[in-house]
Structure 1
Amino acid sequence: MWMAGIGLAMAYTGERYNLPMGVTEISREVHGLHMLIFWVCVAIAVVVFGAMFYSVFAHRRSVHPKPADFHESTTVEIVWTTIPFIILIAMAIPAAGTLIKMEDTRNSDMTIKVTGYQWKWHYDYIGQDVAFFSTLSAESNRARQLGSGIDVNTVPNYLVDVDKPLVLPVGQKIRFLVTANDVIHAWWVPALAVKKDAIPGYINEVWARIDEPGTYRGVCAELCGRDHGFMPIVVQALPEDEYNAWLAEQKGSEVAAAAPAATTASDAGVDAPAEAVAEPAPAAGETTELAAAAAEEAPAADAAAAPSKDEQMAAGEKVYNGQCAACHQAGGTGIPPNFPSLVGGAVSTGPAAEMLNQIVKGKNLMPPFGHLSDDEIAAVATFVRNSWGNSASAVAPAEVAAQR
């Protein structure tokens, strides 16, 4: 599966038997060095094997029945030591220059923190208050399951597509801080010539400046466990104006998710029209009747505003497939012992508060999912607690808020 993932990543660069040219300055230098050294090796092979075949043919026994009797030649030894030395120096000088440039992350325009998890990636736009997980797309995840009955050849970008790609601007120097939360991973995007180990407790640095808009795919290149082959990388490079619009949209959606679902009475009073403000107050005898009517209507209004259990189940299934299925599997069976089964499990059928606390704050190998909105967490908790034979009441967003 490790080799299959690398093969898929290379296939999506347009190259099958060679390094891709890439879309960054470093990737082009790496490709140039690769081709230079390749042709040097070809020339050495031609010379060495040519000399061997010539010697075998020209000095065979039928032609020279008496072999030469010389033993050593200082001149020959100096020559065959000096020539490889010169070749190595000639290759090392440009290679060293490129290696130094690859490590120079100074004067970057933006920084992205990349964290590897079993088995997904987390991207944090430093200083921008934007962060999200990127996991295998739901379509690929369904197709890869045993007995799915899905022809994988019909799935677009099978195993190299994600639910949320890493979106980057074209023309900016981007510094990547690469680390991991559990085991060693490796963040590799061939078209960017970026490949860095993600090591728990350690931060590696690398950078890229993408020259051309497009979608560039990669994979984890370090064997990291059972689902190593199912944590692809997708980088979407956009022109700067489109990237700025995307970034504003992400910030706007986070603000909207954090805002309360309904305005308070004081907010409503501020925006109330002048006619409503000028409306006369009810008479003293009417006050009790109006209060009683409001008390009766309030529960009905809250029930109308809150989503039904069926709506939560539908929304929760989408969140589960995008965020949870990679580890807990589409059928909730999990990957014991690291990721326990949710079918009749102690957490999934126990107190809702305990389950919500684990979703929000994480536990053991499970990362925190506090970046999801209260509505999303309530929906996925409702889905898990009422699927695969589990049965429980719906979870309200207010219960999630209490665990934050």
Structure 2
Amino acid sequence: MNVRLTRLLLALSALSVSATASAEQSLQLNLTRGVTNISNKVYDLHMLVFYICLAIGVIVFGAMFWSILRHRKSRGVKPATFHDNVKVEIAWTIIPFLILFAMAVPATITLIKMDDTSDSDISVLVTGSQWRWHYSYLEYDVEYQSIMATPREQIYGRLPQTENYLLEVDRPLVIPTGKKVRFLITSDDVIHSWWVPEFAVKKDANPGYINEAWTRVDEPGIYRGQCAELCGRDHAFMPVVVIAKEPADFEAWIRGEEERLRTAREEEQRLLSMQMSMDELMELGQQTYMAQCAACHQPNGQGIPGVFPGLAGVGVSVGDQQAHIDVVVNGARGTAMQAYRNTLSMRELAAVITYERNAWGNNTGDMVQAADIHHFIQGNQ
């Protein structure tokens, strides 16, 4: 009977441990351990402070409850009459100091290492914009936008959510394994925050300032994060995806990206010399407007009164053409109107401006070509 009872207790204990581990994993109550040396140091520091605080709690509450039970009035205990004790006062001054010192030393060492971006192998300029990330490799001729790739049908509930819902992008950041990668983080408009938990990297992207961070990933993989600073309407739709590749694979990817960018620039130069017809501009402009502008200004160009201005028959869409180009290319400071110069091609910029000036009965007859956008940008640099 005792053997059976022992086996039953052991089985229940094993189930309890398994269930606890499974629940902790599913609930993710603790910090992520991470995949870098620094992220593991941060995790260890967190656990050290946690255990110190736990020990303090056990000692303090244990002493309090023991005193309440052992020295309660119902047992006839008489309260002490002393009002000071030099030894106790020295102890409760020295012990907290030692505890704080034990936490401060490893915390300071870890923070210094987290901020040490020296001797980096690769530098990446990370620029936040409403609501996307722009990556530029300073040692290579490679730069691109990274935009959330989760379909709107999932967001609106018309399709089931996938495993990486709201954490998918069209073009992830790619870094090599075994190399120290420095991030220079800034913003084009408002304050964003570039955060990848498994790297223990979280830095604010402030307009007009550059913050630095770094990581060194030793194992290939896909790591996900997101913007961690409330930055406007689509803040929740600004994920970060980083792919770590072996150095040889990374170099092959870089060469391919450089070739793709060269081809794109050659194509852009070819398009600058082309003159699109009004029908071509209106067709491409409508597609671009519905993808980029309709959420705020509405498909009918009426906008949202008091929130987003209308474009049908009013505003820049029927006013000065250069002012219209300026607003679309550079945005409007102090408003929700973002700059599209790094988001849309010159052809798309020309088409959407032409569309806005001729849709909804505006009928200005103005045609803006890619060359007009190019000349405007060159003249304002």
Give the TM-score range, shorter chain.
0.7 to 0.9
1:45 aligns to 2:57 (yes or no): yes
1:247 maps to: 254
2:121 pairs, out of 109, 116, 141, with 109
Q: Summarize the Cα distance change of 1:388–1:53 in structure 2 as closer, same or farther, 3 Å threshold.
A: farther
In structure 2, relative to structure 1, the CA distance for the partners of 1:254 and 1:331 (3 Å cut) is: farther
Counterpart of 1:24 in structure 2: which amino acid? Answer: T
| Equivalent-residue separation in structure 2 for 1:325 and 1:246 (angstroms) | 35
| TM-superposed deviation, 1:186 | 1.8
Alpha-carbon offset, residue 92 of structure 1: 1.2
Unaligned runs of at least 5 residues, structure 2: 1-24
**The one of 143, 150, 169 aligned to 2:158:** 150
For residues 223 and 154 of structure 1, do their structure 2 counterparts lie closer, same or farther at Cα, with a shift above 3 Å needed?
closer
Work out the CA distance in 2 between the residues paired with 1:14 and 1:53.
Answer: 34
CA distance in 2, matches of 1:27, 1:64: 55
1:156 to 1:376, Cα distance in 2 relative to 1, 3 A: farther
- 1:367 is aligned with what amino acid? A
Determine the structure 1 residue equivalent to 2:287. 317
Work out which structure has the larger RCO, using CA pairs closer than 8 Å and 6 or more positions apart in sequence: 1
Aligned to 2:221: 214
Report the equivalent of 1:268.
Answer: none
Change over 3 Å in CA distance of 1:251–1:324 after alignment to 2 = farther
**Aligned partners of 1:309 and 1:394 also within 8 Å:** no
Deviation at 1:334?
6.0
> Aligned-pair RMSD on alpha carbons?
3.7
1:164 and 2:171 are equivalent in the alignment: yes
Cα 1:166–1:350 change in 2 (3 A) is: farther
1:95 to 2:107 alignment = yes
Counterpart residue type for residue 243 of structure 1: F
The change in CA–CA distance for 1:256 and 1:192 in structure 2 (over 3 A counts) is same
Change beyond 3 A, Cα 1:262–1:361: closer
Offset of 1:329 from its aligned partner? 7.1
Residues 79-124 of structure 1: CA distance to partner in whole angstroms, max 9, x if unpaired?
A: 2222221111111111111111111111111111222223332222
Q: Which residue identity does 1:227 align to in structure 2?
A: D
Secondary structure in structure 2 of the residue aligned to 1:32: helix
Give the Å deviation of 1:374: 3.9
Per the normalisation by structure 2, the TM-score is: 0.75
- Report the Cα offset of residue 60 of structure 1: 1.1
Question: Are residues 1:62 and 2:74 paired?
Answer: yes
Which of 182, 191, 196 aligns to 2:198? It is 191
Distance 2:190 2:211 in 1: 15
Unaligned runs of 5+ in 1: 1-12, 264-301
Q: Give, in whole Å, the separation in 2 of the partners of 1:243 and 1:307.
A: 42
Letter in 2 for 1:233: V
Distance 1:49 1:385 in 2: 72
The one of 127, 133, 137 aligned to 2:145: 133
TM-score (norm 1): 0.72
Deviation at 1:209, TM superposition (A): 1.0
Residue of structure 1 in register with 2:15 after alignment = none
Contact 2:169/2:240, CA 8 A, preserved across alignment: yes
Matches of 1:132 and 1:319 in 2, distance apart?
Answer: 21
Counterpart in the other structure of 1:78: 90
Offset at residue 317 of structure 1 (A): 3.2
Task: Check the 8 A contact 1:316/1:381 in 2, yes or no.
Answer: no
The CA deviation string for residues 121-166 of structure 1, in whole angstroms up to 9 with x for no partner, is 22222242322232333514x544xxx4525x42452222223222
Aligned residue identity for 1:71: H
Amino acid at match of 1:150: R
Secondary structure, aligned partner of 1:160? coil
